[in-house]
């Protein structure tokens, strides 16, 4: 007999070892995430997949499903917490959607819409983060980094290059480039690397592309991040 | 240097009257007057008190982001900045010549912008003054008042603007702050459905635009002495023109006429603008004062915008607008018309021209082509000049080897008109306010003069009767003597 847990009252089957997030998405239930990627172990840093399981707040991406659990996810309380997390992410970096070329293709922005984030709510940090334009093909705009480490993991585990790393602690944490000079041009990074196309926000960008895709044809112009994620899960 | 009424000799002992804020479109401006004990105007200044800083913070950003970022300068004519920046950055991607499709779509977007902006200014912002009178009850002096008293005028104004906004939406993706133009061309063509949607209303829009010209002309002719003399000053006229002397709001060369109508400089390539235009800084305003280098600051200032363009060109290349232009020129009786209130008539002639250009462009099959982008050996510098609704707009960028902007210079339309607007304010202050007790209606005369130029000063004005105008009379020790507030 298949094991199952209840997600917002709906039975969700799972296999041993599956996380709440994996089982939920496979069953057609959306739980948001920014730092989770199916090809990598859970990271649990963005916290947007937060759910209440057996009365405790846990990251759905990192918590194995358990038989008989009652999990709350798509509730006003949990969605309100997600909104708060998004608001923190927006003020922690410099996210200026109106002039950002990632607008319409950005998962952070899409989640802002999904969870009806209407105001920044918190005071902006306005951190000083430089742009690295040293590479001939790719631009790094650190202003938009959310520390999901997808580029770190992709470069290290798939590309075998370890071009990126997080450094500093607490409020001083930031993404850095593993080179003596700190410049992307002084690494063996390539535009064909997985790390070059895995960023969910607008940090790692191909040079010169900018706004080549018109409004109306960008990823989240035609569908929400919820429906896109579930569609990808089905396929 | 200082002009008459710009700086009073004994200014600290004079009464200071401030109109603060003058309702400015994209921020804040104020007018200060200094009066002696008899109430005579000794000093009048239009200050722009807001600092924007775009030229600075665009530096260090990637060049391809600029056309979208820099358009945030303005909520009324972002398309102008969007296109000027794209034009300036075409050479950076090696597009010394963009494709016919790209140029026509940009032109369509631009003339749609001209149409909507001119309609907004005339109907929403200025027509209340012109239809009801400068001192009419303030409660009526707004677009809602116009809609009640002249419903067909208000309706045509709203629908004209809507049509222009629809053109922007179709070409740029959004009605405000779209992304259509990119360095090297455009990111989308028109579908046949979009083209047909616009074309079905194009003839009606031309017809309404003719009505608007007739209305502006009738108002001018019916109040001839007032309109011809109100805020009158004479200056050079400056604008972009097509190579054959035709009005062209998207591309061409620069021409300067003197106040008598003689061409002083012609065929100035856009790339040489720095050789001809210098900007002077004055300590009392954040807006610079441009002038023609060879003529110096005292004689080299000029006006831009519809009144300059309609008289600077040799002809308008669309028949209905050209016929109206000839009637307009005839009123000058051989001399250029300098009356600020004639801006309204000239502006409506341009709106008619824009409507004709749009109608004709919509029949062009190039709009549907996918040949949208050009490229070539990359450049490192570009200058883009267009005629925005309010006048000549200059964007100039340099881009480093790393593709980041290293230099940015923007001379926006309203800046060109800085000295001209100050002159108009001084003329009105001298003629209507000098020696009189100040009222809201009298102070509105100053705003009527500023508004005629359609600077980024008219935005909030007449916004449903909430013009935030506060006037304070302060004595020489800074004590408040009297205060009048209108709207807000």
Of B79, B52, B102, B8, the C-alpha closest to B388 is B79
Of A153, B79, A172, A173, the C-alpha closest to A164 is A153
DSSP A118-129: -S--SPP-----
Mean pLDDT across chain B: 89
Among A103, A104, A133, most B C-beta atoms within 10 A, so best to mutate, is A133
Are B404 and A207 a contacting pair at CB < 8 A? no
- Closest chain A CA to residue B188: A214
Three-state secondary structure call for residue A100:
coil
| Distance, CA of B145 to CA of B128 (rounded, Å) | 7
State the CB neighbour count (10 A cutoff) for residue B183.
29
* A98, A101, A134 ranked by CB distance to B402: nearest: A134
Does A230 touch chain B if contact means CB atoms closer than 8 Å?
no
Does B75 touch chain A if contact means CB atoms closer than 8 Å?
no
Contacts of B343 (CB under 8 A, 6+ apart): B305, B306, B307, B452, B453, B454
Among B54, B57, B59, B62, most A C-beta atoms within 10 A, so best to mutate, is B62
Among B179, B184, B373, most A C-beta atoms within 10 A, so best to mutate, is B179
Does B365 touch chain A if contact means CB atoms closer than 8 Å?
no
Are B178 and A210 a contacting pair at CB < 8 A? no
Does A126 touch chain B if contact means CB atoms closer than 8 Å?
no
Does B64 touch chain A if contact means CB atoms closer than 8 Å?
yes
Q: Are B429 and B454 in contact (CB under 8 A)?
A: no
Q: What are phi and psi of B8, to 5 degrees?
A: -75, 155
Does A99 touch chain B if contact means CB atoms closer than 8 Å?
yes
Does B299 touch chain A if contact means CB atoms closer than 8 Å?
no
Q: Are B117 and B110 in contact (CB under 8 A)?
A: no
| Distance, CA of B256 to CA of B266 (rounded, Å) | 6
* ipTM for the complex shown: 0.94
* A100, A208, A214 ranked by CB distance to B180: nearest: A214
pLDDT of residue B46: 85
Residue B463 to chain A, least CA–CA distance (Å): 25
Residue A96 to chain B, least CA–CA distance (Å): 10
Residue B21 to chain A, least CA–CA distance (Å): 27
pLDDT of residue B27: 46
- Closest chain A CA to residue B61: A131
Does B176 touch chain A if contact means CB atoms closer than 8 Å?
no
Of B172, B169, B164, B173, the C-alpha closest to B117 is B164
Cis peptide before A157 (omega within 30 of 0): no
Three-state secondary structure call for residue A41:
coil
Are B62 and A213 a contacting pair at CB < 8 A? no
Q: Are B45 and B284 in contact (CB under 8 A)?
A: yes
* A98, A131, A217 ranked by CB distance to B60: nearest: A131
Question: For chain B, what is the largest distance between any 2 Cα atoms, rounded to a whole number of angstroms?
Answer: 69
What's the token pair of residue A234?
Answer: 């089905």
Are A215 and B61 a contacting pair at CB < 8 A? no
- Which residues on chain B are in Cβ contact (under 8 Å) with A139? 62, 403
CATH number for region A85-210: 3.30.70.20
Q: Are B423 and B232 in contact (CB under 8 A)?
A: no
* A99, A139, A213 ranked by CB distance to B187: nearest: A213
Among B372, B373, B403, most A C-beta atoms within 10 A, so best to mutate, is B403
Contacts of A231 (CB under 8 A, 6+ apart): A223
Sign of the Cα pseudo-torsion (B5, B9, B11, B13, in order): negative
| Distance, CA of B252 to CA of B441 (rounded, Å) | 42
* A98, A211, A216 ranked by CB distance to B182: nearest: A211
Q: Give me the residue label for tokens 């105001």.
A: A119
CA angle B453, B458, B464 (to 5 degrees): 140
Kindly give the confidence (pLDDT) of every residue in chain B, 488 residues in length, as a single tens digit, with 9 standing for 90 and above.
Answer: 678 888 888 888 888 877 765 543 344 678 888 888 888 888 888 877 666 678 888 899 999 999 999 888 877 789 999 999 999 999 999 999 999 999 999 999 999 999 999 999 999 888 998 999 888 887 888 888 899 999 999 999 999 999 999 999 999 999 999 999 999 999 999 999 999 999 999 999 999 999 999 999 999 999 989 999 999 999 999 999 999 999 999 999 999 999 999 999 999 999 999 999 998 887 777 778 899 999 999 999 999 999 999 999 999 999 999 999 999 999 999 999 999 999 999 999 999 999 999 999 999 999 999 999 999 999 999 999 999 999 999 999 999 999 999 999 988 888 899 899 989 989 998 898 888 887 878 888 888 898 898 876 432 222 223 334 455 666 666 666 666 554 43
Q: Which of residues 82-101 of B touch A (CB under 8 A)?
A: 93
Q: Give the Å distances, CA to CA, from B414 to A109, B340, B341, B452, B453.
A: 35, 14, 16, 12, 8
CATH number for region A3-74: 3.10.20.740
Please check whether the two domains, A3-74 and A85-210, share a CATH topology.
no
Sign of the Cα pseudo-torsion (B317, B99, A102, A74, in order): positive
Sign of the Cα pseudo-torsion (A186, A189, A195, A199, in order): positive
- Which residues on chain A are in Cβ contact (under 8 Å) with B106? none
| pLDDT tens digit sequence for B12-29 | 888 887 776 554 334 467
Are B179 and A207 a contacting pair at CB < 8 A? no
Contacts of A7 (CB under 8 A, 6+ apart): A20, A24, A27, A29, A71, A73
What's the token pair of residue B283?
Answer: 């300590």
Homologous superfamily of B54-416 in CATH? Answer: Cytochrome-c3 Hydrogenase, chain B (1.10.645.10)
- Which residues on chain A are in Cβ contact (under 8 Å) with B64? 101, 207-211
- Which residues on chain A are in Cβ contact (under 8 Å) with B188? 214, 216-217
Q: Which parts of chain A register pLDDT below 70?
A: 1
- Please count the residue pairs, one from chain A and one from chain B, whose beta carbons lie less than 8 angstroms apart: 58
- Which residues on chain B are in Cβ contact (under 8 Å) with A133? 62, 402-404
Of A61, A56, A50, the C-alpha closest to A19 is A61
Q: Are B115 and B202 in contact (CB under 8 A)?
A: no
pLDDT of residue A23: 97
- Which residues on chain B are in Cβ contact (under 8 Å) with A100? 65
Exposure class string for B166-175: b at 16+ Cβ within 10 A, else e: bbbbbbbbeb
Does B65 touch chain A if contact means CB atoms closer than 8 Å?
yes
Q: Give me the residue label for tokens 């969700």.
A: A12
Domain boundaries, chain B: 11-50+417-486, 54-416
pLDDT of residue B25: 35
């Amino acid at each position: 007999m298949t094991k199952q847990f209840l997600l917002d009252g709906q039975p969700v089957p799972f296999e041993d070892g599956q996380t709440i997030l994996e089982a939920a998405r496979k069953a057609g239930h959306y739980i948001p995430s920014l730092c989770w990627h199916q090809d990598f172990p859970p990271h649990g840093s963005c916290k947007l997949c937060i759910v209440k399981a057996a009365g405790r707040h846990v990251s759905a991406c990192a918590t194995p499903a358990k038989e008989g659990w009652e999990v709350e996810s798509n509730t006003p309380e949990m969605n309100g917490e997600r909104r708060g997390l998004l608001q923190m992410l927006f003020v922690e970096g410099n996210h200026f959607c109106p002039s950002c070329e990632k607008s319409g293709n950005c998962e952070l922005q899409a989640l802002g819409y999904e969870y009806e984030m209407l105001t920044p709510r918190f005071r902006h940090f306005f951190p000083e983060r430089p742009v690295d334009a040293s590479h001939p093909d790719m631009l790094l705009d650190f202003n938009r980094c959310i520390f999901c480490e997808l580029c770190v993991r992709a470069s290290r585990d798939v590309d075998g290059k370890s071009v990126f790393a997080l450094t500093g602690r607490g409020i001083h944490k930031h993404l850095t480039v593993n080179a003596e000079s700190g410049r992307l041009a002084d690494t063996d990074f390539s535009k064909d690397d997985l790390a070059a196309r895995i960023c969910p926000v607008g940090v790692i960008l191909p040079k010169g592309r900018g706004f080549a895709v018109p409004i109306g044809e960008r990823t989240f112009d035609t569908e929400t991040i919820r429906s896109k994620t579930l569609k990808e899960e089905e396929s | 240097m200082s002009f008459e009424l710009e700086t009073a000799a004994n200014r600290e002992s004079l009464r200071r009257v401030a109109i603060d804020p003058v309702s400015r479109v994209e921020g804040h401006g104020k007018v200060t007057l200094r009066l002696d004990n008899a109430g005579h105007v000794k000093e009048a200044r239009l200050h722009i008190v807001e600092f924007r800083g775009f030229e600075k913070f665009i530096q260090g950003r990637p060049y391809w982001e600029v056309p979208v970022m820099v358009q945030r300068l303005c909520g009324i004519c972002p398309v102008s900045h969007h296109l000027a920046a794209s034009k300036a950055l075409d050479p950076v991607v090696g597009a010394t010549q963009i494709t016919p499709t790209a140029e026509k779509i940009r032109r369509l977007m631009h003339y749609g912008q001209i149409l909507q902006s001119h309609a907004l200014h005339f109907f929403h912002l200025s027509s209340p003054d012109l239809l009801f009178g400068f001192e009419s009850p303030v409660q009526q002096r707004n677009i809602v008042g116009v809609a009640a008293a002249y419903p067909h005028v208000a309706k045509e104004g709203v629908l004209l603007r809507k049509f222009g906004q629809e053109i922007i939406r179709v070409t740029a993706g959004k009605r405000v702050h779209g992304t259509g133009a990119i360095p090297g061309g455009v990111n989308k063509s028109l579908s046949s459905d979009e083209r047909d949607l616009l074309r079905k209303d194009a003839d009606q829009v031309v017809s309404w635009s003719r009505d608007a010209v007739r209305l502006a002309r009738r108002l001018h002719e019916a109040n001839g002495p007032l309109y011809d003399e109100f805020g009158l000053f004479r200056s050079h006229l400056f604008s972009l023109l097509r190579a054959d002397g035709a009005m062209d709001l998207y591309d061409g060369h620069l021409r300067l006429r003197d106040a008598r109508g003689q061409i002083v400089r012609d065929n100035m390539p856009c790339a040489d603008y720095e050789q001809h235009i210098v900007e002077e800084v004055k300590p009392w305003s954040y807006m610079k004062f441009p002038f023609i280098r060879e003529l110096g600051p005292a004689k080299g200032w000029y006006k831009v915008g519809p009144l300059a363009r309609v008289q600077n060109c040799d002809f308008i290349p669309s028949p209905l607008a050209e016929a109206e232009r000839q009637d307009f020129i005839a009123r000058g009786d051989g001399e250029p018309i300098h009356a600020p209130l004639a801006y309204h008539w000239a502006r409506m002639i341009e709106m008619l021209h824009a409507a004709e250009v749009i109608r004709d462009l919509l029949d062009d099959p190039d709009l549907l082509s996918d040949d949208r982008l050009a490229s070539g050996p990359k450049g490192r510098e570009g200058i883009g000049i267009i005629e925005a609704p309010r006048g000549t707009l200059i964007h100039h960028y340099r881009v480093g080897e790393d593709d980041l902007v290293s230099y940015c210079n923007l001379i926006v339309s309203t800046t060109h008109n800085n000295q001209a607007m100050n002159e108009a304010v001084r003329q009105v202050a001298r003629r209507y306010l000098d020696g009189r007790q100040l009222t809201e209606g009298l102070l509105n005369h100053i705003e009527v003069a500023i508004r005629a130029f359609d600077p980024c000063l008219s935005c909030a004005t007449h916004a449903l009767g909430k013009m935030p105008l506060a006037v304070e009379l302060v004595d020489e020790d800074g004590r408040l003597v009297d205060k009048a507030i209108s709207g807000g």
